[in-house]
Chain A
Amino acid sequence: MKRIPIQPDFYDWRTHARTLLQEGFAPEDVDLTDATIATTLQLALEDEDPRPTGTHVPTPHVPKTYLEAAELAASHRSPDRWNLLYRILYRLQTQPELLRIEVDTDIAQLRSLVQQVRRDLHKMHAFVRFRKVEADPMDEANPFAPHASTLAGNVNPLAEHFVAWYQPDHRILHLAAPFFAERFASMHWTVLTPDASVSWNPNSKQLAFGPGLPREHAPQADELETLWRAYYSSIFNPARLNPDVMRSEMPVRYWKNLPEIDVLPQLITQSANRVGAMVQTQALKPSAAPFVPAEHTLPVINAAMPSCKGCDLYLHATQVVPGVAPSAHPSHTVELMMVGEQPGDQEDRAGKPFVGPAGRVLDRALEELGIDRSTVYVTNAVKHFKFVQRGKLRLHQNPRMSEITACRPWLLAEIDAVRPRVILCLGSSAAKSLLGGTFGLMRDHGKIFPTPYANQVVATIHPSAVLRARDQPSGEQLYNFLKDDLALAYHAALHGSSVQPDVTSV
């Protein structure tokens, strides 16, 4: 068997392979070894003068696609690659369609080598990280300029030099360099690898190759890396943590080169905490849910309500103020439900909703529209009175969003028990409870919204806004405003589903 050591260079193989083909060596007659791997003494002694047993090919032909694939595979570190490439070359002389039969063992192996080199190349384009040095790469005093003597040019003391160290799996620097040359054409840059190194001179547009260098020959930091780490830490979503995918796309062997990996352990542990904290704050939020009975009928709900300690409002209020069902027809289905904000001073003492000054405004509007209040279900979004004590006065305070949200389970239970056709929200607290925390009352009052709770939900101002108006005319305007929306809601409730929700105007 003829044994030839091949240098790690595609053109060395190509020269030898051409000669071997012309001399008629079959793949079994030769062993093309990797010259960088030391041959054992026994193998070296075994060699004698072999005779070719194959067909002579005076003028070898080969498809261009094969040469391209072979050049990529030649950069692979597999010691068998030279034999594989010769075997395929030999078979191609008699079997020109061989390359298309991807399930052939040799071709499958070639494809796998090519794919691995391509992937390595792609990862190198991705994971090389340049570090900037304020020195000229053509200055021999620059510690990061291994090719200063090769790069002809004048030394510029203000030059910027970008240097990277990288360890590819295969010998691909010469394949990777043109990509960087095109992309960073106007920069002085150097890439160091353990096998070889390369620099680019943007003035002469020349690549200068040199020997491999260890990591210590590259700069150890760059000020921009702090910003890059900040970006890396901010751009990911901790709620979708998936480190397995990250590791398969960015295997650990590349990590030593990536500045952003410094923050990785911290990001992974923190993301559990960040999501945990989010869940915890949600769990710690006050809620009436534990106090709401499973059975949603009005007697059961009203019986359970006084025991509610879902938020802190129960501490100071006199009593809970439940909703009032239509008294005249207890079994009658409720068409309209009105939801106010919260009990006031008088409601708190009486234990009934809308019996104070605001209630009288509401009653006046109902009366003028000819609506019998006893046919309507009246309740509040928040069931306890919230106030500050000023001497003898108890001054009403707006409930906060957290208190509205905490009390929501009661309201939803009431809705479930009553199943009204239309819900009228009086004021923004009720509207926010049912239509969302960002509901704009000014913008969207008097419009009918479909919601999961009722097909038609309308919002209007709270009757107390009429009382708080600064003068007579604006008070009148506000009152008409309330009355119009009330009329709309009542009309929708009476006519049932025949009224189309007015959602188009949004």
Chain B
Amino acid sequence: MFLSFFARIFYTVSCPRIQLPTMMTVQQKLEILADAAKYDASCASSGAKRAATPGGIGSTDGTGICHSYTPDGRCVSLLKILLTNFCTYDCVFCVNRVSSDIRRARFAPEEVVALTLDFYKRNYIEGLFLSSGIIQSPDYTMEQLVAVARILRQVHRFGGYIHLKTIPGCDPKLIAEAGLFADRLSANIELPTQQDLVQLAPEKKAAVIESTMGEIATRKDEADEDRRKSTLAPRFAAAGQSTQMVIGATAATDREILSTATHLYSAYKLRRVYYTGFSPYPEADTRLPLKPAPLIREHRLYQSDWLVRFYGFQASELTTPENPSLSLSEDPKTTWAKAHPEFFPIDINSAPREALLRIPGIGHKNVDRILSIRRYHLLTLGDLRKLHVRVKDAQPYCIAADHLPSAPLLAAATTVPDTDLVAAATQLDLFAPLSALTGSV
């Protein structure tokens, strides 16, 4: 009695009554449910190869195609929509939270299937990225998502790309089924730390999200192992799994964010972690900051992410406990190089791959080119220019056939006092990289 009394009072106070729209057209639903999905940064359609099925439609060639670009510079590759933006959760940073006063809509699975096929046949899209607000329960919601993928694959023999969002906490059986139909699965970690989640997404728990990720990773490992034994074994989410983190909504530092990302990459073999800068909205909650996260911070996090995945950096090298934020004015590789003068200069024509990867201004594809070319030809700065290396950034740190960085150049770049350089040079001998600088081999 007591509870029902309170439930009545507080329900009417805190929950604006949701009015079901009367008979919306597909276009109206599409407008609402695409708009609601636009805050999900993931757009990739790459990483999975899927040959066309006889009599069916669609193929996925593994590279991904952007079929259009929107005025915010983002790629349009997939039909990215929510099945519904009704949600029983109340995550503060999310536009679809139950307490948000927005228009709501819900697609029937068949409507999503028809839209996907119609768009696909006209070459507008690579496939479907389907997510959803949580309705009734995680299991019910996940069933609906899986149903769409199942109809596309089994009824229409659709060979295009399918990315399904997995609802944290849903039944592992549903994940197993989803992986059979989808090229990619993802579960959003949402915020970098458990404390952040407690504050801003009270219904979500890092442990539950991570157990869902673990479930996907285990299933994928098993399926991959089966496929090694027999190519007839079914694939499971060929393009792996990804996740998304909102940054700048809480005080979590870049160091914490990168450490969470590293943990997720290694523990669950994620293909991608997407970082989305928080941008405030009207009627924002007081637990949220008033300023948007600078877009450049998002960019620096992506750069760091790449350095960890493709350049052999450890996430912990890119920031320090004393200064846990990435520099907004220079890229993280340059920051690292400035802090480690003892490592440079690097000889383009003889240094190992790992060392070349650490020179600012040289990308990992160019490193591979350099390794291939230098077997036959000594590279000069001019050659680097032909490869579109950012020579201005690279030359203080590298030795080329026609170039030795001058001590002042290196010193200016590293901002380390000359005495330190000399000290470093005298400590290291014979094979020390600094020997070229002083001529003391």
Chain A: minimal CB distance from B119 (Å): 7
Once the chains are docked, how many angstroms separate the CA of A132 from the CA of B121? Answer: 9
A-B residue pairs, 6 tightest by C-beta: A245-B73, A236-B70, A242-B73, A234-B34, A103-B383, A436-B285
Once the chains are docked, how many angstroms separate the CA of A169 from the CA of B312? Answer: 39
The interface residues of chain B, by DSSP majority, are classed as loop
Once the chains are docked, how many angstroms separate the CA of A239 from the CA of B291? Answer: 13
Interface string of A212-246 (1 = CB under 8 A from B): 00000000001010111011111111111111111
- CB < 8 Å neighbour of A435 from B51, B97, B282, B287: B287
Contact yes or no, B66 A231, CB < 8 A: no
Contact-residue size bin, chain B (C-beta under 8 Å from the other chain): 35 or more
Q: Does A11 contact B (CB under 8 A)?
A: no
Once the chains are docked, how many angstroms separate the CA of A409 from the CA of B186? Answer: 41
Chain B: minimal CB distance from A279 (Å): 9
Q: Which residues of chain B have C-beta atoms less than 8 A from A97's C-beta? A: 375-376
B-contacting residues, A437-459, CB 8 Å: 437-442, 451
Q: Does B260 contact A (CB under 8 A)?
A: no
Chain A: minimal CB distance from B328 (Å): 17
Closest partner residue, chain A, to B286 (CB atom): A436
Contact yes or no, A474 B2, CB < 8 A: yes
- CB < 8 Å neighbour of A278 from B37, B54, B282, B387: B282
Contact yes or no, A164 B123, CB < 8 A: yes
Size of the A side of the interface (Cβ < 8 Å), in residues, is 80
Which of B75-83, B225-233, B424-432 makes up part of the contact surface? B75-83
Chain B: minimal CB distance from A159 (Å): 14
Chain A: minimal CB distance from B129 (Å): 10
- CB < 8 Å neighbour of B65 from A126, A238, A440: A126
B-contacting residues, A246-290, CB 8 Å: 246, 249-250, 258, 260, 264, 267-268, 271, 278, 281-282
B-contacting residues, A80-108, CB 8 Å: 97, 100-104, 108
Tell me whether A250 and B69 are in contact in the complex, defined as CB-CB below 8 angstroms, given that A103-B379, A224-B119, A236-B38 are known contacts.
yes
Contact yes or no, B7 A267, CB < 8 A: no
Contact yes or no, A127 B121, CB < 8 A: no
Q: Does B99 contact A (CB under 8 A)?
A: yes
Once the chains are docked, how many angstroms separate the CA of A439 from the CA of B282? Answer: 17
Closest partner residue, chain A, to B203 (CB atom): A506
Contact yes or no, A244 B73, CB < 8 A: yes
Q: Does B67 contact A (CB under 8 A)?
A: yes
Number of A-B contacts (CB under 8 A): 200
Contact yes or no, A437 B10, CB < 8 A: no
A-contacting residues, B39-71, CB 8 Å: 39, 51-52, 54-59, 61, 65-71
Tell me whether A442 and B10 are in contact in the complex, defined as CB-CB below 8 angstroms, given that A228-B119, A234-B35, A477-B2 are known contacts.
yes
Closest partner residue, chain B, to A245 (CB atom): B73
A-contacting residues, B367-400, CB 8 Å: 369, 372-373, 375-377, 379, 383, 386-387
Tell me whether A235 and B76 are in contact in the complex, defined as CB-CB below 8 angstroms, given that A102-B387, A186-B56, A230-B30 are known contacts.
yes
Residues of B within 8 A of A (CB): 1-2, 5-7, 9-10, 13-14, 26-27, 30-32, 34-35, 37-39, 51-52, 54-59, 61, 65-76, 79-80, 90, 92, 97, 99, 115, 118-119, 121-124, 159, 195, 198, 202, 279, 281-283, 285-288, 292, 295, 369, 372-373, 375-377, 379, 383, 386-387
Contact yes or no, B5 A474, CB < 8 A: yes
Please name 8 pairs of A and B residues whose Cβ atoms are closer than 8 Å in the assembled complex, sorted by A: A102-B373, A162-B121, A183-B59, A235-B37, A235-B38, A242-B73, A250-B69, A278-B281
B-contacting residues, A333-388, CB 8 Å: none
Contact yes or no, B65 A230, CB < 8 A: no
Contact yes or no, B52 A183, CB < 8 A: yes
Contact yes or no, B387 A127, CB < 8 A: no
Contact yes or no, A126 B67, CB < 8 A: yes
